[in-house]
């Protein structure tokens, strides 16, 4: 188990290292930092001074080394726009994004699993067919367009929910959260649903496939032969078996949701790090872009690690193998 963990950690560190190289090359080789970092009105002497100050006259490997050691100390430069450390900006916006992504995960499980169970238990019913048809829409509709339609219907036409923004927040553990106030929840409803849509379809299909696959199995028939209630057969015996692949996939999708929050946050003007990165790209605020990219890669690596761990906890068969 420990060697397995160690190997996974080394792998994760390696991926992070590769990403720093890619981001460094992207910013410093493909893009021209001098042009972006130094005001165009600067004269020759000022430019030279700035280049020296930024270390751009040094060889590339030395620049990379500076970048890497800075990154390790949590220093990824200062935002030109906000004149604050880029990492601090990202950290400030992160709770809003995480809150949105986690709500979306919860929604996809809460909505997706029951619908998938229904469609799996009654595959030929009208309801089951409608659910499956709808899930195709959930996969192929562009997120941003669905977001617009949600705003149009629920905010503009019906006026039930606020269209944009985060609403009032309340502080918990020194961080501001929306889900602690009723109005905050109302603000979160549409963006979270929008972000969850693709995942609802995914969870639904996985659940249905799992039910179809597990129902004919002997263990289900044996459970029924024991005389336990049909509800217990479905919700304990079958669901526990299906849950393993679902948890794995949903876990792996959290990273995707955080990345995709870029779109939802832009549509709903949700002040998370996704909106920050889009704004930063538009004004070429490179340090923030770099900080965002490094941050999100870190999130990805951490999430993948956690999902792997969770998987071993959930599936007793895997657990045994890793123990031995």
Q: Does 160 bind another protein (CB under 8 A)?
A: no
Rounded to the nearest whole angstrom, what is the least distance from the CB of residue 249 to another protein in the complex?
Answer: 13
Closer CB to another protein, 119 or 151, in the complex? 151
Q: Does 104 bind another protein (CB under 8 A)?
A: no
Using CB under 8 A, pick the residue from 68, 81, 209, 278 that binds another protein.
Answer: 278
Q: Does 198 bind another protein (CB under 8 A)?
A: no
Q: Does 64 bind another protein (CB under 8 A)?
A: no
Q: Does 174 bind another protein (CB under 8 A)?
A: no
Closer CB to another protein, 147 or 177, in the complex? 147
Look at the block and give the residue holding tokens 């690690």.
305
Stretch that binds another protein, among 63-71, 97-105, 166-174, 210-218 (CB under 8 A): 210-218
**CA-wise closest residue to 194 among 265, 112, 259:** 265
Number of other residues whose CB lies within 10 A of the CB of residue 45: 8
Of 235-254, binders to another protein (CB under 8 A) are: 236-237, 240-241, 244
Q: Does 96 bind another protein (CB under 8 A)?
A: no
Stretch that binds another protein, among 80-88, 99-107, 149-157, 200-208 (CB under 8 A): 149-157
Q: Does 30 bind another protein (CB under 8 A)?
A: yes
The number of residues that bind another protein (CB under 8 A) is 63
Q: List the x/- string, 212-231, binding to another protein by CB under 8 A.
A: ----xxxx-xxxxxxxxx--
Closer CB to another protein, 170 or 240, in the complex? 240
Q: Does 262 bind another protein (CB under 8 A)?
A: yes
Residues that bind another protein (CB under 8 A): 15, 18, 23, 26-27, 30-31, 136, 140-145, 148-149, 151-152, 155-156, 163, 216-219, 221-229, 232, 236-237, 240-241, 244, 255-256, 259-260, 262-263, 266-267, 277-278, 281-282, 289, 293, 296-297, 300, 304, 314-317, 320
């Amino acid at each position: 188990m420990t060697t397995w963990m160690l190997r996974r950690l080394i792998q994760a560190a390696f991926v992070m290292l590769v990403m720093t190289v890619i981001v460094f090359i992207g910013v410093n080789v493909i893009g021209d930092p001098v042009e972006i970092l130094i005001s165009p009105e600067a004269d020759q002497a000022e430019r030279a001074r700035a280049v020296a100050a930024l270390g751009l006259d040094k060889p590339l490997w030395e620049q990379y080394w500076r970048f890497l050691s800075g990154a390790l100390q949590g220093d990824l430069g200062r935002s030109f726009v906000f004149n604050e450390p880029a990492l601090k900006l990202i950290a400030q916006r992160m709770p809003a994004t995480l809150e949105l992504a986690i709500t979306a995960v919860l929604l996809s499980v809460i909505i997706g699993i029951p619908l998938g169970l229904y469609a799996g238990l009654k595959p030929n019913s009208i309801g089951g067919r409608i659910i499956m048809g709808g899930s195709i829409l959930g996969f192929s509709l562009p997120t941003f367009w669905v977001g617009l339609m949600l705003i149009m219907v629920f905010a503009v036409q019906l006026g039930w929910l606020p269209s944009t923004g985060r609403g009032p927040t309340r502080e918990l553990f020194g961080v501001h959260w929306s889900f602690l106030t009723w109005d905050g929840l109302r603000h979160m409803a549409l963006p979270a649903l929008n972000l969850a849509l693709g995942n609802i379809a995914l969870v639904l299909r996985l659940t249905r496939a799992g039910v179809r696959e597990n129902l004919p199995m002997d263990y289900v028939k044996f459970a029924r032969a024991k005389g336990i209630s049909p509800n217990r057969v479905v919700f304990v015996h079958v669901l526990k078996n299906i849950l393993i692949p679902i948890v794995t996939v949903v876990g792996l999708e959290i990273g995707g949701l955080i990345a995709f929050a870029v779109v939802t946050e832009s549509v709903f003007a949700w002040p998370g790090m996704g909106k920050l990165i889009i704004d930063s790209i538009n004004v070429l605020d490179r340090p923030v872009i770099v900080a965002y990219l490094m941050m999100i890669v870190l999130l990805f690596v951490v999430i993948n690690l956690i999902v792997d761990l969770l998987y071993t906890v959930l599936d007793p068969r895997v657990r045994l193998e890793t123990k031995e």
